[in-house]
Structure 1
């Protein structure tokens, strides 16, 4: 490991480090524009200049390898003069529009000019105007501000895998643009807004709507898919203004999907803010006591086995604790959190987790995708797979429908027959799996949410055993979920009890009259037509599909409006925090169920959030500690049986409209019309 002397302090850094990284290790702050730790080095802004002994002129520290015995100076008059000169040149064409720029207050150029820049300019020439570029409905451009750091180009090429942004012309005529004017076809394109060190790329839906210093910042987690990206919710008053990523190396690094970032306008549209009771065939506003009274009157004398609970995809763990407790007191075994009917076995935790972990993808050398399209189901996991592929020595194969991904994929076949052939060793890729050091398989809900899902799960379990995917130091079996509530629900045992019905059975029972009362707890992804004869209580935050079938509506809180726990696809418990209060008379979901239990005479004695979380830890000890992934014991799961002939199909047909929040978002609707129905999203990718 090379040792350097930086401003008189000796520091030792790993081999391959740059002088910039060595300076950071020594606690020296080096200003940068083009450098970013997750992107390839460009070395074109020259802001990170330092003096190195025995070198005749200042060096760009981001592109200079650290070597043994180097003596580096970062705080000399010559360096300050060089940085001042760099900024003077950068500001030649920069417009003086800080008062109207959305980056004002969090602009790198603004901050560095304050500390390192000149107090006047020696250039009197006219500034160069550059026309703004169209990049789609999510990113606005002000290209006169662009300083050509090329972070956006490198992000799309390296991380997003969609090579649609580049530089044209040379010298003072250089411009950043798309090759042909079109919207950027990536599910994670919004991250360039955070990467841009000036105000050239901005949040288009939120442009000119707020100032950064007006916003209250709340750390939370995303629930619009099962990755559990760490986010920061920025709110003003009673409205969420924007959502930004938070750094978490084990989950999302510092990226989030466009659905996470831009669907926040859906949090204020189509909201349920008052209880409602159906009278004379129409839902009408009511008081809480009236709504609870209507439920109590309907449940009077009803056998508990004629009551059922269906739990939706955005429900938090605290609410699910109350659901399980209330169901037990009502005497019903008909409880299910698997809205899509996925044949997941709750008895073996390893059978429904992403056991490799998201960060563990970087240790794998072979990956088999079964019935999943990670680019739409989990864009951040897809980005991690691409990152691993770019490191080299990583092969990916797929069984299922063909979707454009951002790395090379070998298509083995479309359905269960290919899976059986692979198990039998009749496909050449079987030998690749056998020779792999750390092979992994990712099975999606497209393979499990079908009539033969249990048999598919058993076959994939057999595959993992047959090809040595599970060892003491490695578990390559992974289930990729699409619902934020799914793993938490399975951990808490929200599956049918003895003699209980699953979602399909509940719907069939409601249609036949065997199930008389159905609680839909945020359940919006089921076919509500069979519920016509049943008395339906819907508890949720948006007037979506479930609310349309309801006889009583209990307005709940969205994920930004409560302190709640969610478990991501790898089994990591994370906390979401209250950023704003629920609208109108809406309440936190667990509190609604607690109050309802008392009205029904089946009181659940959990009065505080701390008590609910203590009970949650009793039900599932793995949920006692946040932000920890507990290794699950391996076993057998699924149910061996005959596999069907139908090909595996991803459950997501529209990336932008997968849940009530995004379906209520005008921004997501615009994206869906342009990218999905217009056929652009996912149609491109690069393997460069």
Structure 2
């Protein structure tokens, strides 16, 4: 009986939270739509122009007036829980919450009256009545909003006395990433709103009311979302903190370096916090055009992989063992092979973590040796067709990440944005919630945190879009801003050219909608950080099948190529591996040259939308490891064909000669000749054979283990064991239910 009652209460609480979230969303939408004109309001008797319909707290911020808050957040629906943002409004008998009051013409607000000060002091007194006094051991110490605001707005003593003691709440197990100390929680519900609105994880919610209110999952389970770490940043107290970072450092001990993430193709802006030679944590950095202020869990928590399985000294294979060597010995061993190998038998393979500087240096080195045999790693990457790289619009996300939120219909082909780029998935979810986005998927069925029309999991499924009677075909025809997103794994499929051809036919069928003056709806979504730069530079297969050339390849240079197929490496080839981790590629090497990871070098990466960004060195490379382009430059000098650049500015001048977009930082260059690019794509794939019932496999089978850094991370290994297994079990259960149905 008690169990049934508890389940009933949980269901009621779930329904209530969903209803509240929907009403908050509707209110947010109506408020957003109402922002059409500027009106005059008065704040502290000073006239201020503000947008009609926006919250008073936003108008105060624009006027340079700081309003304290705990529950309010610009990117989340209004909750009005904490009451810390109270202000005095004319003709109102009591203070009002500035986050919940919309701006109207002639509104008169006061933020510094004795009534406001007394109200805020009273709210702070209520919040601290049950808050534990454990600031010395709290990981939020030094970054805690409650600490800061209690110092500014709180009183010097408390009047509450509870004989039974302060309220205590049992901690929740949200997984291996988020640590909970729920006794500290002030019920601002930021984490609940983020999980429901942004991350698409409705399992996080509230139960109980008043003093009995608790935040957690209704049924005990982990928080299975790729964006869970953001609730740590959102929490204004120490209730939610980083479990891997627990008790390791204080914020004032850390050196802060602004950089770029390379765990996927998004290029999220991050801040690397380091102490000495060790990266201690990674936090998001605001960039409205890329990741706003969120980052994925892989970006945030994979940093411990930077100090494990690292290559710290040059190694030369002797028999079945690797023997440490000096840089001179290693470079001479490689240079001797370079000088004695036929250029036609040389091959350079670049991986997904290779930066633009090293790609340019390696390409120039091979070109000076007389070799054009360049390729990329990955499943069938050495045989994958190169389709239209002469026109940039054919291989980037033309709509841009921010532009995705303005689409009203999207077709996903062979991609899982939730696992290949979680930030893009949050953008799609935002468009689904607030713009009525219609989504269709060609590929294996998956949970994308929003509803979609599943057209099928084989290549012939895309043909349904050309049937005018199909529901999604009708929605696509009626769309004002349609999109199609091709996954980077499509080119790696045996019959991937067919999907390219059908997508080109679809775009041409609706070209007046796909190509508009301010809109390009054709997109290719890359899942690795180094692919777009490689295509800009021309570091791509030369049109010949590398697999057919492999038996004659006598020299292979693997630049961070850890996803290379073993069958593409001839047994008698001399293999050089250059990278920062002893991962897959290093196992086949004869000489290993240690490189620097992305937190240890100032280098250039181009994200999937074609935006050029720069990482910055937060720590030094370990021991004898060096920046990749410097290793290649030193090798060219030992080989007797020195490259014409000795410093980074000169190298970037060479990059500008190859493609000016590589040196226009923090800008997503618009791509021209989009229609010509589609015509070229259609011409190149005109002879593609029909894909038929060929299945489209999952490109990313384990979100947490996708590159050498994550595979070396113990944190990511724990996540893989907890989350991936849970998803596999859930999918198996769903398939079983569908089979019985």
Structure 1, 412-421 or 130-139: larger mean CA deviation: 412-421
Deviation at 1:78, TM superposition (A): 1.1
Question: SS of 2:498's equivalent?
Answer: helix
1:470 aligns to 2:515 (yes or no): yes
Matched, 1:670 2:718: yes
Aligned-partner Cα distance in 2 for 1:518–1:681: 41
Tell me the TM-score normalized by structure 2. 0.90
- Equivalent in the alignment of 2:105: 68
Q: Are residue 521 (structure 1) and residue 559 (structure 2) matched?
A: yes
How far the C-alpha of 1:631 sits from its partner, in A, is 1.3
Change (3 A) 1:443 1:682: farther
Matches of residues 233-632 of structure 1 in structure 2 within 5 Å?
233-337=272-376, 339-340=378-379, 341=381, 342-345=384-387, 346-423=389-466, 425=468, 427-468=470-511, 469-497=514-542, 501=544, 505-510=545-550, 512=551, 514-531=552-569, 532-632=571-671
Residues 1:657 and 2:708 are matched in the alignment: no
C-alpha separation in 2, matches of 1:219 and 1:335? 33
> 2:171–2:180: 8 Å Cα contact kept in structure 1?
yes
SS of aligned partner of 1:300: helix
Partners of 2:519 and 2:273 in 1: CA distance: 39
Q: Deviations over 1:464-488 (max 9, x none)?
A: 1212312232100011111100000
SS in 2 for 1:118: coil
* CA distance in structure 2 between the aligned counterparts of 1:144 and 1:108, rounded to whole angstroms: 16
Matched, 1:138 2:177: yes
Aligned match of 2:116 in 72, 79, 83?
Answer: 79
1:666 Cα deviation from its structure 2 partner: 0.2
Q: Is the 8 A contact 2:399 2:522 kept in 1?
A: yes
- Deviations along 1:13-69, one digit per CA (max 9) or x if unpaired, are 222201111111111100000000110000010000000111111000000111110
Q: Corresponding residue for 2:89?
A: 52
User: What is aligned with 1:168?
Assistant: 207
Q: CA RMSD in A?
A: 1.6
| 1:197 corresponds to 2:236 | yes
- CA distance, structure 2, for counterparts of residue 4 and residue 273 of structure 1: 62
State the distance in 2 between where 1:290 and 1:547 align. Answer: 18
The answer to whether the 8 A contact 2:266-2:421 is kept is yes
More helix by share: 2
Is the CA contact 2:405–2:435 (under 8 Å) kept in the aligned structure 1?
no
CA drift of 1:327 comes to 1.0
Deviations 1:588-620 (A, max 9, x none): 000000000001111101101111111111101
Aligned equivalents of 1:471 and 1:171: distance in 2?
Answer: 53
Corresponding pairs, count:
678
Q: Given that residues 260 and 269 in structure 2 are in contact (C-alpha distance below 8 angstroms), is that contact kept between their aligned partners in structure 1? A: yes
Q: Which runs of 5+ in 1 are unaligned?
A: none
5+ unaligned residues in a row in structure 2: which ranges? Answer: 1-37, 735-741
1:554 deviates by: 0.1
CA shift digits 1:128-159 (9 cap, x unpaired): 11111111000000111100000000010110
Contact 1:444 1:650 in 2 (8 A): no
